[in-house]
């Protein structure tokens, strides 16, 4: 930058600082008279002893501005000064963050300083133009036989993992992070218990997985805004690496808790609850956030979003909305988990919408055969278990009885067991060819 450019830059700088004053605090929101600002702008609320709290503009009420602080509001009082920054939240991203666990604002969770050499990026961005997204043509190996063989995922595909609590979502994500053939993993842990964050990093992800991962965590005790920001921050970091040409694996656990955080914010600023207590802003947020991942002209973000289904109800509003946005869904079945099958993927209820476009004809045909055999066995399982089925009554059921133990063995996989895409396909082909013989 030469001297003339520096002078022009100085002349265009807005040298005024804009301030307002707190009038009252109602629930999660702070009402302020001024300053001039826009929705989404970052502000600072000044406290005694030269402290300040970051807050975001979330709405307006007559002449008042509605702010939501990132942290607790205990020390905010009437008359506290509000300073406007005139810009939204920015975070920092770069390769030196790999191996770190970050908070919702992109700072190391252990309190250490940020590494050097990072670039500033906006935490909230618009999804890529659909006409600039290259089509997905290449399969992505995630190292899990049930997915690679029967629910093949494409590079840049977005998939939901639907499950009730305690069925193995976090374990499955850890396996994918360790085994998937990607350049880098970005993992967002939203609304988790504090205990679970460290457990996931040390047990599920492990040292091997952390070496190529960046984890962004916002625990359940943090404010609703911090939980939302953690989701945006993780997505922005993933976008940064995609724009650099990386093949990124993005995982969020869970999108349901992001929706719940947005519900808290929406109700706090006066939105009416509509669908089962969720305000309209929740259903506006979900597609905007989920569409940010995927492919663009530079790289790809292959995304897995977990959806926590209350009471194993797979048709509740959030699950139904997310399923309609994403490119496939993997259902973890409590019944299978109770039988000791891990990962407890119900192949019959799961689907990859892009599988037929990215696999060979042979792979597609054999995968359909396996699904048909599993479906036949499950339909006749009760009769088989009580001894009411007589062998020879149906060739399809006889074949299903013969192959079911081998298929079950194929679907089960230990946490540290890894198969490449080629190995998964060879075992799948051998399974059917040997069974038919």
pLDDT value at residue 437 = 46
- Residue positions counted in the chain: 437
In the structure encoding, which two tokens stand for residue 43, read together? 């502000």
Mean pLDDT in each 10-residue stretch from start to end of the chain (437 residues)? 71 70 86 89 88 89 89 80 89 93 92 89 90 91 93 95 87 90 93 86 86 93 92 96 94 93 90 87 94 92 91 79 93 89 92 94 94 90 81 85 91 89 91 63
pLDDT value at residue 329 = 94
pLDDT value at residue 434 = 58
Q: Which residues of 36-73 are buried (b: 16+ CB within 10 A; e: fewer)?
A: ebeeebbbbbeeeeeeebbbbbbbeeeebbbbbbbeeb
> pTM to 2 decimals?
0.89
Phi, psi of 80 (to 5 degrees): -60, 140
* Terminal alpha carbon distance of the chain: 73
């Amino acid at each position: 930058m030469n001297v003339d450019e520096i002078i022009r830059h100085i002349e265009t700088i807005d040298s005024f600082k804009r301030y307002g004053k707190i009038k009252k605090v109602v629930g999660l929101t702070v009402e302020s008279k001024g300053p001039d600002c826009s929705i989404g702008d970052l502000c600072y609320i000044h406290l005694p002893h030269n402290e300040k709290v970051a807050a975001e503009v979330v709405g307006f009420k007559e002449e008042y501005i509605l702010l939501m602080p990132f942290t607790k509001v205990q020390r905010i009082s009437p008359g506290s000064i509000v300073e406007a920054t005139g810009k939204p939240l920015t975070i920092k991203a770069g390769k030196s963050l790999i191996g770190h666990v970050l908070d919702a604002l992109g700072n190391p969770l252990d309190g250490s300083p940020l590494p050097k050499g990072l670039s500033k990026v906006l935490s909230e961005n618009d999804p890529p133009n659909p006409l600039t997204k290259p089509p997905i043509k290449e399969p992505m190996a995630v190292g899990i036989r049930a997915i690679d063989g029967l629910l093949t995922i494409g590079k840049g595909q977005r998939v939901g993992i639907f499950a009730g609590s305690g069925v193995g979502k976090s374990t499955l994500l850890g396996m994918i992070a360790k085994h998937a053939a990607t350049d880098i993993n970005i993992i967002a842990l939203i609304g988790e218990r504090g205990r679970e964050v460290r457990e996931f990093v040390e047990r599920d992800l492990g040292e091997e997985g952390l070496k190529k991962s960046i984890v962004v965590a916002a625990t359940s005790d943090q404010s609703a805004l911090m939980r939302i920001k953690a989701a945006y921050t993780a997505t922005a970091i993933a976008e940064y690496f995609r724009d650099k040409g990386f093949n990124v694996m993005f995982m969020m656990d869970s999108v349901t808790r992001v929706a719940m955080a947005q519900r808290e914010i929406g109700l706090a600023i006066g939105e009416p609850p509509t669908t089962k207590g969720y305000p309209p802003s929740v259903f506006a947020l979900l597609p905007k956030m989920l569409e940010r991942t995927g492919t663009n002209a530079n790289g790809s973000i292959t995304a897995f979003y977990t959806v926590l289904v209350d009471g194993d109800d797979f048709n509740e509003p959030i699950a139904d909305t997310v399923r309609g946005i994403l490119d496939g869904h993997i259902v973890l079945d409590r019944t299978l988990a109770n039988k000791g099958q891990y990962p407890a993927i119900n192949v019959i209820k799961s689907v990859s919408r892009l599988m037929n476009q990215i696999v060979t004809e042979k792979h597609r045909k054999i995968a359909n055969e396996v699904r048909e055999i599993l479906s036949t066995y499950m339909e006749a399982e009760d009769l088989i278990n009580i001894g009411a089925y007589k062998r020879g009554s149906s060739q399809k059921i006889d074949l299903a009885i013969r192959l079911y133990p081998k298929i079950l063995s194929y679907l089960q996989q230990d946490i540290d067991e890894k198969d490449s895409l080629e190995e998964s396909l060879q075992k799948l082909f051998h399974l059917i060819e040997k069974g038919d013989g």
